[in-house]
Amino acid sequence: MVHITENNYRERILEYYDNVAPEYGVKHGADMAGGRYGFGELYKKVLAPYFSPGDKVLELGCGNGASSEMLASYGVDLTATDISDEMVKIAQSRDIPNTKFLRLDAMELGKTEGIGKFDVITAFNSFAYYPAKARVLRELRSHLNENGRLVILDMNALCPVYPISAWIGRLEMSSWWTTTKEMTPSGIRRLCSENGYRMVRLETLNFVPHAVEGAVFQVLKAVNPLLNSTPLVKKLAMRVLIVAEPLPE
Ligand SMILES: C[S@@+](CC[C@H](N)C(=O)[O-])C[C@H]1O[C@@H](n2cnc3c(N)ncnc32)[C@H](O)[C@@H]1O
């Protein structure tokens, strides 16, 4: 297994995402029934309280724009960014209203001049990859307006699907489990409090993978509310939602 470090990170992530970009919507499922249910229904409803029309929003790791479409539907003024030029090109072709796209490395925010400040900074299925999560969290503070917040939705490292995928070498997880394994709710709580944030919401949710269609999707969608409302099972859900606010300096 490749050990991801801050030094080899950029090269490794671009090697994967520049190549997968044309088929991302299907290979990762963002544009399949499971992905459409997540961004178009479940996450859209759960995240709605954290966005108001006109908010200035920065999205880190926008991918092919499926998550950007959900954000734009809240009526926000969106800057959607990704480290991969190929992903940005595909996201741009979705023609999303009130959205501008930029190539931006979330790990380089400390060196990024002029991007400005935002009411909400989001990252969907992107933060888990960053090997320097603590530094990124500290740097994001200076890009948040007063009363601004972070909204992160990502892989829950307690969900057995990810270590098993890493073990059998599926998708990109064989390389990225080293950074993804930090995404346990307790790890995230510690990371946020050590780097100057107050937790507003921390919750695991969703048992419907993005890359499912047809009968499998229908069955998982039907049992999802029950699984999400069963406390011990809910801990193993696929995603973790983090809403956090910077503490005063
Ligand atoms: C799994 S995709 C998620 C895309 C989209 N947000 C979604 O949920 O469908 C992860 C994305 O994060 C991007 N990414 C990874 N590391 C990044 C970084 N340091 N800065 C910006 N984008 C990054 C990748 O290029 C990729 O497009």
Domain ranges of the chain: 9-246
Q: Is the CB of 80 under 6 A from ligand 1?
A: no
* pLDDT tens string 123-138: 999 999 999 999 999 9
Distance 112 CA to ligand 1 centre (A): 18
SS3 content of the chain, % helix, strand, coil (to 5): 45, 20, 35
* pLDDT tens string 64-85: 999 999 999 999 999 999 999 9
Ligand 1 pocket test: which of 10, 13, 109, 137 has the largest number of ligand atoms within 8 Å of its C-beta? 13
Answer yes or no: are the C-beta atoms of 83 and 106 closer than 8 Å.
yes
3-state secondary structure of 46: helix
Q: Is the CB of 207 under 6 A from ligand 1?
A: no
3-state secondary structure of 84: coil
Q: Is the CB of 68 under 6 A from ligand 1?
A: no
pLDDT at 2: 65
3-state secondary structure of 171: coil
Mean pLDDT for the chain overall = 94
pLDDT at 174: 76
Answer yes or no: are the C-beta atoms of 192 and 134 closer than 8 Å.
no
Query: Which of the four pLDDT bands, split at 50, 70 and 90, describes residue 14?
Result: very high
CATH topology of domain 9-246: Rossmann fold (3.40.50)
Question: Which atom from ligand 1 is nearest to the alpha carbon of 35?
Answer: 9
Question: Which atom from ligand 1 is nearest to the alpha carbon of 68?
Answer: 6
Question: What's the pTM value of the predicted model, to 2 decimals?
Answer: 0.96
